[in-house]
Amino acid sequence: MRREALLELLRKLEAGKIAPEEAADRLASLPFEDLGFAKVDHHRSLRSGMPEVILASGKTPSQVAIIFAELAASGVNVLATRASQEHYNAVRETVPAAEFHNLARCITLLQSKPEDVTGHIAVVCAGTSDLPVAEEAAITAELFGAHVTRITDVGVAGMHRLLSYLDALRAADVIVVCAGMEGALPSVVGGLVAVPVIAVPTSVGYGAAFEGVTALLSMLNACSPNITVVNIDNGFGAGYVATLIARGPQH
């Protein structure tokens, strides 16, 4: 039953064919979607111009290509994360306008300019090995309409380098910090600014780095109170939430 079915029920009531009590009973047993619930999501996506997102890893190139093409056909912007060159090769056959961001392992398709985001995002990373995760965050944020400043290679073992970017850090409305190994950078950055910091542990490191677990735990215990954390290597999630924050209250 779709909206037509709902309308048909209501029209029967309007026409006096059923009583309000009976209508109420039947409404109680309807699938929720038919009551227009799902439209909310749709309205939201229309309002925000946010792209649809595909997690490419774990899907075959042809599966990604099919989903990508369907979304492209609907006119929205599209982002595929954790994509390989093979994924991209399959996608561009049907969607030639799609672009591949090699470092960030992302495929993007920009069909309409996203709604401009007020606030500014800084994406910071500790070392060059953290760059893929940082780039995933940056490209996500940009595709969702945000302005992004990239600050790279500012690990805590060389404080003077980080401090030389102090102005850039303080100019941001929200900061994404990617770090592996001991994951100490978010604590330090968080102490230098007064805005929300989203910490992204990366799987960079060896031995007791435990594929990012140490960085994750470290960030969850950050002594700066303005820090929240996402999953290991989840650059997309960090970029997405940063955009929501940079957009500011909508009510």
Among 101, 145, 204, 235, binds its own copies (CB under 8 A): 204
Among 76, 114, 119, 153, binds its own copies (CB under 8 A): 119
Q: Which of residues 40-59 bind its own copies (CB under 8 A)?
A: 40-41, 44, 48, 53, 57-59
Binding segment (CB under 8 A) for its own copies, from list 70-78, 92-100, 102-110, 193-201: 193-201
Binding segment (CB under 8 A) for its own copies, from list 68-76, 96-104, 107-115, 186-194: 186-194
Q: Among residues 28 and 113, whose Cβ is nearest to its own copies?
A: 28
Mark 130-149 with x for binding to its own copies (rule: CB under 8 A) and - for no binding.
--------------------
Element (H, E) at 29: none
Please check whether residue 201 is in contact with residue 212, taking contact to mean a CB–CB distance below 8 angstroms.
yes
Q: Bridge partners of 79?
A: 53, 108
68 belongs to the binding site for its own copies (CB under 8 A): no
Alpha-helix residue ranges (DSSP H) falling in the chain: 3-14, 20-28, 37-48, 61-73, 85-94, 131-143, 159-163, 166-170, 185-192, 213-220, 235-247
State in angstroms the smallest separation of the CB of 241 from its own copies: 5
Binding segment (CB under 8 A) for its own copies, from list 70-78, 86-94, 98-106, 125-133: 125-133
CA distances for 95 relative to 22, 24, 44, 59, 187, angstroms = 51, 48, 25, 18, 42
**HSE-up of 127 (CA within 13 Å, CB side)?**
15
CA dihedral 11, 13, 16, 19 (to 10 degrees): 170
152 belongs to the binding site for its own copies (CB under 8 A): no
Q: Which of residues 19-38 bind its own copies (CB under 8 A)?
A: 19-21, 23-25, 27-38
Distance CA 238, CA 139 (A): 11
Q: Which of residues 70-89 bind its own copies (CB under 8 A)?
A: none
State in angstroms the smallest separation of the CB of 96 from its own copies: 26
| CA gyration radius, the chain | 23
Distance CA 87, CA 92 (A): 9
Binding segment (CB under 8 A) for its own copies, from list 68-76, 91-99, 102-110, 153-161: 153-161
Total of residues contacting its own copies (CB under 8 A): 117
Q: Which of residues 205-244 bind its own copies (CB under 8 A)?
A: 205-234, 236-238, 240-241, 244
150 belongs to the binding site for its own copies (CB under 8 A): no
Residue owning tokens 């109420």: 24
Q: Bridge partners of 177?
A: 124, 199
154 belongs to the binding site for its own copies (CB under 8 A): no
